[in-house]
Amino acid sequence: MDFNLFMGDISESARNEIREAGFTELKTPDEVKESLEQEGTTLVMVNSTCGCAGGVARPAAASAIHYDKRPDQLVTVFAGQDREATETARQYFEGFAPSSPSFALLKDGKIIDMVERHEIEGHSPVSVVQRLQQLFEEHCEEL
């Protein structure tokens, strides 16, 4: 099997999974800037092809948003695939090292907090859902 074809299938599957959960995919630096500089709260999922993204982060993202309080905007960038968009998004995550998969919660374009890879890898989807919903409870409006 052609490795590039195989990786393309994996990354497309990962993209579809998070889009189907309701996240808007940002593929360019301009899309990232336009989206992250909007007023209100934004959850950014830094997607990846690793096992903890597929086994924990994406399922947690899909579940966590079914909550009374939720970010105004749900977006995603794909680390290792859309490099410039991911690098631009990470410029907004001041004080946090690059990490994927991860989640960043922003308000009015400013970082509030992150759920980094070390809080995802080796953890259950349920614990990540609880962490995200704790952030939503503290910083988001009721829908």
Tens of pLDDT, residue by residue over 77-130, are 999 899 999 999 999 999 999 999 999 999 999 999 999 999 999 999 999 999
Token pair recorded at residue 10? 């994996």
Let me know if 140 is a catalytic residue: no
Domains of the chain in start order, with CATH, are: 3-139 (3.40.30.10)
Q: Give yes or no for residue 2 having a pLDDT over 80.
A: no
Let me know if 50 is a catalytic residue: yes
Question: Residue 59 to residues 54, 90, 128: CA-CA distances in angstroms?
Answer: 7, 22, 9
Choice among 27, 52, 62, 72 that is catalytic: 52
Question: Residue 2 to residues 6, 8, 25, 49, 78: CA-CA distances in angstroms?
Answer: 6, 10, 26, 17, 22
pTM given for the model: 0.92
- State how beta strands 102-107 and 110-115 pair: antiparallel
Please give the residue that has the higher pLDDT: either 12 or 36: 36
Choice among 50, 53, 77, 120 that is catalytic: 50
Contacts of 12 (CB under 8 A, 6+ apart): none
How confident is the model at residue 38, as a pLDDT? 95
Q: Give pLDDT tens digits for 38-91.
A: 999 999 999 998 888 999 999 999 999 999 999 999 999 999 899 999 999 999
Token pair recorded at residue 8? 């393309």
